[in-house]
Structure 1
Amino acid sequence: MSAIISGPLVAATAPITGTVAPSLPALPSGFPSHLASKLAWTGASLASSSDYILHLTEDEVAEINAAVVHFKTLDLDGNQVGPANFPLPNLAVKLGQVCRDVHHGKGFSVIRGLNPASYSVEDHSLIYLGLTSYIAEQRGRQDKRGNMLVHIVADNSTKLAAEHHRHSTKSITFHNEEAGDIVSWQTRSTAASGGKCIIASAHTIYNVLAATRPDVVRTLARSDWPFALPRFQCRPVLFFQDNNLIINFGRAALIGNEAHPRSKNLPSVTSRQMEALDAIESMARATEMHIQTQAGDIHFINNLAVLHRREGFVDGPTERRHLVRMRLRSAQHGWTIPAALENEWERAFKQQGTKHWHLEPMPDFFFPLRSQPN
């Protein structure tokens, strides 16, 4: 791979105020030479956890518990929970700030301070739905069967399951989810070791590439990337829409893996495209941020602007990593979705059909593991 940066990393990742050298190729039409945004951060620049973690006080936990009791008197289904019937009169102010920060600030946040052992599975799930409704009220389907809650747990019962991101214990590369402005997950329990959430800013990556490798930016913005999942489509990886930089990709969808073997009938990524993928991964790892997840944590990540990956982990006899994931969108704060991504957002948030809210991990029939493009 050609060099992406030269000189010390700190110089490469600092805000770039100069102009692109005349000898470098031009950026794609409409793309800026630099993004001056709160979304352009590095792990080193966010040294304090107070920058991104909302630590709940005892009074705020009590307010949440009272909201659970109130909602259960209304005889409503859990998927109907929202601010109107899950009242948090004091905590709502802080949750509003989390909402703004995820959509228009750093692009991620963590709510911490809930103890899963203090709640039944039903009540813990209700709290998750209630708190997320203050951040983004629309909940998206996560697969063609209409599963709304996806359980991420280790499963080596079959080779296919063991290699799938959802059930593997291996580390995975940086990526975005197929759809959803916000990706959220609730940590019910953690592994014996490993399994940290690791994120990186697409804005920081873009700023470095725009200044040093605009040809890579041009490659990422081309419409010839052969995505195979969830169905075959040629589209860009990188977009600039309504003054927002948007990134959406996953290696499995582009090059396949053991869980998702790529059909030989589909076009392969070019050497130039592979170089661009490696450039993203290299710069993301150089600027990434690690979050040591605790049981009870609720994470929010701007899926349009922040990449995420997971380190490998090991479960123990009693310590078992278990996350519950949702895809979210806010009618008020949601970004404009590029036309090339609209179909996936339509299927997730607008498609009619059955919706399943499984509170515990279910067999693969309910959470299908794709072995071929569909």
Structure 2
Amino acid sequence: MSAEVLEAREQSGRIVPPKEPVVEPGDWKGPALAESEEWKYRLTDADRSELASALAHVRAEKLPFGGIRSVRDFPLNNLAKKLAELRHDVHDGRGFVLVKGMPVDGYSREDIATMYWGMGLYLGYPIPQNGKGHMLGHVVDLGYKAQKAEYDADGKVRPFTHTEIRGYNTRERFFFHTDSGDIVALLCLHPAKSGGQSMIVSSVALHNEIQKRRPDLLEELYQPLWTSRQKEVPANARPYYQKPVFNLFQGRFMCTYLRMFYESCKVFPELPLVTAKQREAFDLMDQLANDPAFNLSMDLEKGDIQYLNNHVALHTRTEYEDFDEAERKRHLLRLWLVAPDGRALPHWYYDATGGGRRGGVYVPGMTEVVSLEP
């Protein structure tokens, strides 16, 4: 890994970005990768045999699902070596990989989830994804709509500006964003009837393009922004906190972007409203992220696992049409993973969890839950 050591600096109470572009392996553009296979790994028959053996080990040890806490509980051999390479690609390389051919057909939901969870432990360890303590997420339409949606000046819906609905439980398109934790992993159990493409974009590339076009707006994205916790409030914490979109810390770049979380802070009268300049910066961020010159779109097929580094990439999903039969509906399993040996994080990230944790959602009285159903 080779990244140019750059630092932002504070001047007159504001954080001033570096004048030079960020140099990171995670700086890429979609069209250059669209025809490439370098970011894909296809599991071999030998790999699948190792997964079956590790699953048999779990059963022999009578470990409950969710009770697999280390790679020792899910022993792999040659596949472990390959996962170490993929882990490097995700943490210190381009920032994402697509693993194809995870065995799905012929296995129970519990067996599939166990193998998925076990593989994830070779990249990080799972953390809770919401205030209900869900450690295994289900990306599936539960019939929700973007109620209370607001509209942009051109009449387009700005989705999910409210706190009750989560985009992953609808079939609507949602905005480019990052999740909490180092890595978000998605396993496709069933694809949609049509649509539902996964879209990712390099936040390093967005940073450098904004720097080139509008350095004044880049500076806005380096300032700490008030961010709503969306009613998932840690003990002894306020329902909001501050975090910049872009950070440079100990020579490493990182980005966190949750536009709806910034704009929904307007419900707190004690906080300042999002300024016109900040909104202009968000608009440019969104415009670039949605530009095919920057993003990469992919169809997640049955058995595909996408591992994505939240610090250097944003992700979203397009609107989709589902099958009528319940057993054929689009369904992805999600893990949020953290790696204590990952890039050093500034205090903003620990402030977000309210307890010095590297990522995840923690609220009073929460119990970690691993459920095979949404």
- Answer yes or no: is 1:330 the counterpart of 2:317: no
Which runs of 5 or more structure 1 residues have no equivalent in the other structure? 1-26, 362-374
- What per-residue deviation string (whole Å, max 9, x for no partner) do you get for residues 222-270 of structure 1? 12x22123332233221111122211121221224xxxx9526253211
Corresponding residue to 1:275 among 270, 276, 280? 280
Which residue is equivalent to 2:312?
Answer: 305
1:246 maps to amino acid: M
Taking a change above 3 Å as real, the CA distance of residues 191 and 349 of structure 1, as seen in their structure-2 partners, is closer
- What per-residue deviation string (whole Å, max 9, x for no partner) do you get for residues 252-311 of structure 1? 21224xxxx952625321110011111111112220000110112111110111011111
Taking the TM superposition and a 5 Å limit, the aligned residue runs for 1:64-75 are: 64-75=51-62
Corresponding residue to 2:92 among 84, 104, 111? 104
Which residue is equivalent to 1:175?
Answer: 177
Which residue is equivalent to 1:211?
Answer: 212
Distance 1:146 1:128 in 2: 19
Distance 2:266 2:299 in 1: 34
**SS in structure 2 at match of 1:166:** helix
Corresponding residue to 1:142 among 113, 117, 129? 129
- What per-residue deviation string (whole Å, max 9, x for no partner) do you get for residues 14-63 of structure 1? xxxxxxxxxxxxx9546351122211000011134521111011111111
- What per-residue deviation string (whole Å, max 9, x for no partner) do you get for residues 305-324 of structure 1? 10111111110123311112
Taking the TM superposition and a 5 Å limit, the aligned residue runs for 1:178-197 are: 179-197=180-198
Moved more, 281-290 or 30-39: 30-39
Which residue is equivalent to 1:59?
Answer: 46
- Answer yes or no: is 1:232 the counterpart of 2:240: yes
Which residue is equivalent to 1:250?
Answer: 258
Which residue is equivalent to 1:155?
Answer: 142
- Answer yes or no: is 1:89 the counterpart of 2:77: yes
Distance 2:200 2:109 in 1: 28
Taking a change above 3 Å as real, the CA distance of residues 349 and 270 of structure 1, as seen in their structure-2 partners, is closer
Percent identical: 27
Taking a change above 3 Å as real, the CA distance of residues 157 and 41 of structure 1, as seen in their structure-2 partners, is closer
- Answer yes or no: is 1:359 the counterpart of 2:368: no
Distance 1:271 1:350 in 2: 30
Distance 2:16 2:324 in 1: 55
Corresponding residue to 2:267 among 263, 268, 291? 263
- Answer yes or no: is 1:343 the counterpart of 2:351: yes
Distance 2:195 2:185 in 1: 19
**SS in structure 1 at match of 2:71:** coil
Taking a change above 3 Å as real, the CA distance of residues 39 and 157 of structure 1, as seen in their structure-2 partners, is closer
Answer yes or no: is the 8 Å Cα contact 1:39–1:105 preserved in 2: yes
Answer yes or no: is the 8 Å Cα contact 1:33–1:211 preserved in 2: no
Q: How many pairs are equivalent?
A: 327
Taking a change above 3 Å as real, the CA distance of residues 353 and 312 of structure 1, as seen in their structure-2 partners, is closer
Answer yes or no: is the 8 Å Cα contact 1:226–1:268 preserved in 2: no
Distance 2:117 2:95 in 1: 20
Distance 1:176 1:58 in 2: 34
